Chain A
């Protein structure tokens, strides 16, 4: 399984273009009183990075996630995805980019209860040009990749929490995105499932996928190579650990 580092033919990408580049980004929710959820954030995330975003409630994590996931537009500043200024693109193009280049993983899985694991993964493909004939195969491949080869036709209610979240990850990566956005991915999981899931995220990152995890949990944040802390809508610290962080070893055997 390969994730695209750059897209040939789109004309704007070179290998060193950051996946995310934010310049002076602010987000103000109109009042009264107006709420400055995000103030003057400058952020660059390189391809292949593994970033944790932490901070207390109200620090602006959700707002940042909204902007990173093209679910909201900044009030000021520019926000680029793969070198494309997405802050002023029409909604249809933003939806297209979201579907093709961003994979989401949520705390509460969001699997459709009446559909099998395979069908849930295929849901990600209906908005993305893939021909009908190729969908089931691609979805099955993604499920095998997350270690669910034996549960392909299982309904979500028969899956454990960890398995459900892995189905959600398969759904997020089936379109080969540039960026995996995880919002408290382990919030509903026990410690064993959490460990398995973090290993999986690490191994995906090893394959070149850019991973951003938003979390309260220090142990989850510890797996990332870069940790961004937020407070009151600002980035208060941005620390990089050495590239040979132990998670590489644990991720390698998966």
Chain B
């Protein structure tokens, strides 16, 4: 006799039949199938939504801040404050050399650079009138006064509303000129410079040369009055340790880290450690830290619901297998191999997972788009994440179906058919 293979009729079960039979099996119990899907829908949906929302929010933050922060370096004076007897015991800091702007300007990649600080005034009287008395109606003593070099003023990226910025000539000669921030200008009632208005600080007169409406790198300057550094030193003394001087540097894109490394040495080759250069915050790492904690939480919740979804699929599939003992026995009697039964159960549970993943990913995409639209952001979603979700669902479904499938393939046909 020949070998069994040539003699026996092999049963066949093509993929099309497998798919048809599995879908029919699911369609027989639509309500239960839908409920079973829910866990997977929530799990994969949460995964995709978290990834999408994080990417969208990140992209938004990046868009707003990246260009500015990536081209900003600040150098802080962290030297030991000097006590001076004639300044009434106030400690002052003055580690920046007089030619600080020039030294840093020479560095490759620097667009503008300069030193600025907030001037400490005790009981200042600031007014457009020379006769203003402290506390009177036309006294604006609360306004902050800043000292800035010509370079610092330009490195702030100010937008000039009217007039002009003071230049290096004014700084060199300690001219009594002032640039007003938009907020300070409106408080002082100055809006145009045709009459060459003058501001009095503690009775000293300063000619207003310009009004700025923006100062991207030192936004607080908008609310105050900015005078040249030399003028400030002459009239109000050295910068004090309460408000230490700082250098602001506008770098070219990509040069910030290099400039931050070089600036302290360029400023004080003898003692660079009195300065601390701050490179632009790594947007991704900072943003990442904040998001990572939140994302981790959401992703672990999503993972949990995925797990619950898988358990749900396993449970439903097992119950379906036990309910369909007779059908499985029948199929065996009609020529189905145990492998065919296993394949069908796996196909059913896998389809449940796939559908769950598909629906979950679709809902998540809609959610991301809805949030982005509501906030007028650009929706950003890695297509891989959305496409991956159904796959993850399918794999999970198949895994969940393993035990029920093995149980199904071990059903004794005749026992099943007699019951």
Contacts and interface: CB of A to CB of B under 8 A. Distances in A.
Contacts of B28: 114
Contacts of A98: 11, 332-335
A62 B417 CA distance: 11
Contact of B11 (A92, A106, A123, A132): A92
A123 B13 CA distance: 11
B5 interface: yes
Interface stretch (B56-64, B217-225, B314-322, B336-344): B336-344
A104 B11 CA distance: 16
Interface in B370-412: 412
B85 interface: no
A10 B7 contact: yes
A71 B327 contact: no
A62 B416 CA distance: 13
Given A101-B9, A107-B418, A93 B4 contact: yes
Contacts, number: 115
Nearest to A120: B330
B329 interface: yes
A96 B9 contact: yes
B4 to A, nearest CB: 4
B286 interface: no
Contacts of A149: none
A89 B10 CA distance: 12
Interface in B10-33: 10-13, 16-17, 21, 24, 27-28
Interface residues of A, number: 42
B1 A71 contact: no
A31 B262 CA distance: 88
Nearest to A65: B414
A104 B417 CA distance: 10
* Highest count of chain A CB atoms <10 Å: which of B1, B338, B339: B1
B144 interface: no
B11 A99 contact: yes
Interface in B239-279: none
Contact of A104 (B9, B333, B340): B333
B9 A71 contact: no
B2 A11 contact: yes
B306 to A, nearest CB: 31
A12 interface: yes
Contact of B16 (A65, A99, A132): A132
Nearest to A94: B8
Contacts of A93: 4-5, 7-8, 10
A66 interface: yes
Given A89-B4, A128-B12, A69 B414 contact: yes
B203 interface: no
* Highest count of chain B CB atoms <10 Å: which of A62, A72, A128: A128
User: Binding site of A, secondary structure by majority: helix, strand, loop or mixed?
Assistant: mixed
A128 B413 CA distance: 18
A155 to B, nearest CB: 12
Contacts of B5: 93
A214 to B, nearest CB: 11
Interface string B340-369: 100000000000000000000000000000
A96 B11 contact: yes
A183 to B, nearest CB: 7
A96 B334 CA distance: 9
Nearest to A7: B9
A110 B325 CA distance: 10
Contacts of A107: 418
Nearest to B416: A110
A252 interface: no
B13 A126 contact: yes
A115 B327 CA distance: 12
B339 to A, nearest CB: 8
A107 B417 CA distance: 9
B335 A100 contact: yes
B326 interface: yes
21 contacts: A89-B4, A90-B4, A92-B337, A92-B339, A95-B11, A95-B332, A95-B338, A96-B335, A98-B334, A99-B11, A100-B9, A100-B335, A101-B9, A104-B333, A110-B327, A112-B330, A115-B24, A127-B13, A127-B336, A129-B12, A183-B418
Given A97-B8, A112-B330, 6 more contacts: A10-B7, A72-B414, A95-B335, A110-B417, A123-B330, A128-B335
